Amino acid sequence: MERFAGVLFLLGAFTLAGTSVIAGRFVVATLGTFTITVGSLFFALLGLLPLCGRRLGPSIWQMTRRDWASLFIQALFGIFLFRMFLLQGLLRTSAGEAGILTGVTPATTVLLAWLLLKEPVDRIRFLGIISTVTGIVVLQGFFSPGIVFSTEHLIGNVLVLCAAMCESIFNVLSRSSNIKSALRSAQVLHPIVQTTLVVIIALLLCLGPALTEHPAAALLSLSIVGWAALVWYGLFVTALAFILWYAGIKRCAAAVAAAFSGMMPFTAMILSVLLLNEQPDWQQWLGGLLVVLGMVLTGLKGHSPQRQESCYT
């Protein structure tokens, strides 16, 4: 039951994460990269701090230097670098394509988990990863005749791939942190507290660069749709998605999380149809189905991680 709950948490986390590409598209032309991040993190904190209640103070008091270092690295890769690369990539490539390219996360996460965490990759899980990666290739349109990429387009794609790699590093580091805490019988932070602390650290990292982008004037020119996208980016893509992520990764192996990260490109594709009026062809639908199949094979089968005690009360 714990592992099934973890699977549901991861599914929700990556579904919300997939909306980041669409939300970013609505504001990236008006706001600077770090202004977007600071604005979204501000709205995230508005939603998180009341939820923390009395948990935040005692949790901070019990944290060690190692815990703070771990949270800093998670904020650096999971928010600061991920959003910097993604938003810069969105200036050069389409929202749908950027969302699709984030689908390399499953393969890179599994590889890093195998190398760093020694998590096994059995046959079912391997087939699931192959299905997910194949789906991404099909979604990308590599089988379409006459596909051509401009230099600017290629740079945008490379930046999005860098964002996906940062996401993979964040996935594995989060899992590694929980394993080490369990082995040391150390405090396991509540997902809401952990999310709040990571958001605060990321906000501090982004403040300096944001000030160089003249944020006040840019924010004043933002449309109602832009403000709605920024609030969504903060409350749902950041706050809720990270809470679900930390709740899920405490219950599941990194390879399982890798499989469900395939929801990011699939969600981006669906929303590009509903909100951006893009029309996917049969290759994109086939790729989406392969991504879903890969999630099922990799997420519901394979080695179960060592059970950890929960400190959610």
Give the domain range for residue 175: 1-300
Q: Is residue 310 situated within a structural domain?
A: no
Q: Which two tokens stand for residue 278?
A: 């893009």
Is 311 a member of any domain?
Answer: no
Summarize pLDDT for 136-157 with one digit per residue, the tens: 677 666 666 655 556 777 788 7
Residue pair 131/262 in contact by the 8 Å Cβ criterion: no
Query: Based on C-alpha coordinates, what's the Rg of the chain?
Result: 19
- 181 part of a folded domain: yes
- Does a structural domain hold residue 166? yes
What's the distance, CA 178 to chain centroid?
18
What average pLDDT does range 52-57 have in this prediction? 87
Report yes or no on 293 lying in a domain: yes
Nearest CA to 233 among 11, 26, 5, 2? 26
**pLDDT, mean over the chain:** 81
- Pick from 17-26, 61-70, 227-236, 264-273: least confident: 264-273
Whether the predicted pLDDT of 293 surpasses 60: yes
Is 307 among the domain residues?
no
Are the CB atoms for 101 and 269 separated by under 8 Å? no
Q: Distance between CA 11 and CA 206 in Å, rounded?
A: 28
Locate 193 and state its tokens.
Answer: 């507290």
Q: Please determine, for residue 281, whether its predicted confidence score (pLDDT) is greater than 50.
A: yes
Residue at 312 is within a domain: no
302 — alpha (psi -120 to 50), left (phi > 0) or beta?
Answer: left
Residue 138 and residue 312: Cα distance in Å, rounded?
41
* DSSP secondary structure string for all residues of 151-216: HHHHHHHHHHHHHHHHHHHHHHHHHHHHHHHHHTT-----HHHHHHHHHHHHHHHHHHHHHTT-HH
Question: Is the sign of the CA dihedral 161, 164, 168, 174 positive or negative?
Answer: positive
Name, of 69-73, 112-116, 263-267, the range with top average pLDDT: 69-73
Q: Among 119-123, 196-200, 277-281, 298-302, which stretch is predicted with the lowest mean pLDDT?
A: 298-302
pLDDT digits (tens, 9 = 90+) for 170-182: 878 887 776 666 5
Query: Does residue 309 fall inside a structural domain?
Result: no
Residue 102 is classified by DSSP as: G
Q: Average pLDDT, stretch 278-305? A: 66
Q: How many domains does the chain have?
A: 1
